[in-house]
Structure 1
Amino acid sequence: MPQSVVKSVESWPLLNEATIEPFAENIGPFSGDLVSLVSSDVKDLMNVQLAAQQAGSKEEFEGQAEELVSEAPGKLSGYMTDQMELDKKDESKTFAWPLAFVQPIDKAFVIGDDSRFAYGWNADIEPVADGMGVTVTLFTRTAYWVKDDRDRETLIVIGRWISLSTVDPAYAATSGDYAWSMRTKVYNATVCPSVKGDPIAPDFSEGDHSEGFKMLVGLDERDYAPVEDFRRDDDDKELEEYIARCDA
């Protein structure tokens, strides 16, 4: 792993000591108190997602995804369940459905105590349903140092985005009636296990030299960046080539 990458992630807090501070900034017509109501639900969802740190089997992986959905507040749990059931039936999806909800690393690998964590908040005024609402997004970056049984070590870095949107934060906080989005980017991991529905496994080859990886590790501890910043025009073609190797 390049020393520049190692130095960048060393500036983040240790994963086992990290906490997510509340977010309560005024934006447009929404007071900090109202934004805080939404951010609290975002944070709770992210904590469940982050707790799914490792899985030992495909079944455990799927169970963690189902647990996340079941712990979403109120109506949101129903909305997420509907999407999960659609994902299960969608044979056109590149990756197995649980990866959209949780991103555990295979228990065959040991996660080091020097793993790191960073995050950033963002709020935007956007169209929601029939009006203009607030979208609150929590962007986290987790740098997992992982070892295999041959004592090889490398770094898996996962970026996660959870957004909740509403025109009425006070109502949504009691009902769970949110529009929602969850996105993820996984770097320096092998593609094949995720295609087959298994937990994430590291890539011990030459390391990830993609622009997305460099950007993710290069951000400061409290920086925010939207998921769109990490997408390139040739991503789909490159992914197809990787998947073809899995089937070879």
Structure 2
Amino acid sequence: MTPGVKPLVAGNWKMNGTGAALGEVRAIVEGLSASGSAVADAMLCVPATLIGRAADAAGGAVLEIGGQDCHAKESGAHTGDVSAEMLRDAGASAVIVGHSERRTDHGETDATVRDKAAAAWRAGVTAIICVGETREQRENGEAERVTSAQLDGSIPDDMTAGNTVIAYEPVWAIGTGLVPSNDDIAAIHALIRDRMEARFGGEGRKVRILYGGSVKSGNAAEIFAIDNVDGGLIGGASLKAADFLAICDAVPD
């Protein structure tokens, strides 16, 4: 963890969840409320079809609701896309941009991600900007180069710790059960912190840096104890209230 920075545990439901899953949202709210802990912020980034209903279920208290992607434009002839303003109107306070699945499946470039982050800020929502290397890049010793290039290209110049979260997700660890060593996580998070400080000064020192990639209740406490790891971006383990709450409980006091 980073001293003076409040951690964030954010769930990414990806393309999962219908109205029947709102019971899990309510259970998470109940669990967070019962714990009475304000050690970390908690958020669920749900499919666009659920944002409004999830925000209603969350009630705006202990659980924030976010989206998973947005278009760079505020409106226009972009069939099937959703703007950041629409997400905000539906009840989202944040949006994930640049997730590796968007970069890979939809060919999103750093410039695309940069524009989407700026769109999120324009709409008044936090941009959760994702970076991370593939397995091949890791094995070729390119993890630091790739992550640095993505940071430089994906973050607009007027970033603040209040409008941005950085999520480091090694692509090869997402949904595979594989997790980098603690030393590897520490090295990349230190790199991210150093580059953020060098570019953004005090805002870079305060911005939250999350780790994502096969985080579960069994390994969360160990990962969250690593320097410069300010919480997690949680995939499959965020779909069930019990699993997500256990990860939230793993954040150190």
TM-score, normalised by the number of residues in structure 1: 0.27
Greater percentage in helix: 2
**Higher radius of gyration, 1 or 2:** 1
Greater fraction of residues in strand: 1
